[in-house]
Amino acid sequence: MDALLLPLLVLVALFIFAGFLKKSKSATQSDDTPEHGYRKKGPLFTPAERSFYGVLLQAVDQEKYQVFGKVRVADLLEPQPSRNRSQWQKAFNAISSKHFDFVLCKIDDLTPVAVIELDDKSHNQKHRQKRDELLKKICKQTDLPMIQIPAKWAYKTEALKMMLVKEIDGEKMPEKAVFQSKK
């Protein structure tokens, strides 16, 4: 019986050792090469966002402010610290995969001063309205102005400039002044 036990133990040890080698090799490969392929998606902005971005750059005082696009909400805002880790994680998860269309930051230290959401037709969907309400609530709690602008075919640069100045200073301006009417 001892003659059979020793080869059996050696065989089991070899299988275990082979398993460790395989696990070790797959762990190093997953760090170097993804198992699933990736590809570029194309332009960062939709055509409507790109058009608005051009007008926004003209409207912003570029000596004072920098404009960033597609910034993750969780990179600007975070839940208040809490002893209840589960509550904090739930609040973080609610914002972690969302982004703002545009963020206006002070040029000297890149502190955010306002966020801009360009509302296209997708914002009429129930889940988008729920998302927008959450972001409005969070922005209000954190005193970060959130400017929602309906997507249009054209904008008045000067009116947008006035709106930004007034929003940053805490005064509201009628949004209809920002848009050009169709002829």
Q: For the chain, which ranges sit under pLDDT 70?
A: 1-15, 17-33, 123, 169-183
Do the domain assignments include residue 183?
A: no
CB-based contact 65:105 (threshold 8 Å): yes
Domain CATH for 94: 3.40.1350
pLDDT score recorded for residue 176: 44
pLDDT score recorded for residue 175: 45
**Pair 140, 160 in one domain:** yes
pLDDT score recorded for residue 60: 94
Instruction: Give pLDDT tens digits for 116-163.
Output: 999 877 767 787 889 999 999 999 999 999 999 988 888 899 989 988
**Pair 1, 91 in one domain:** no
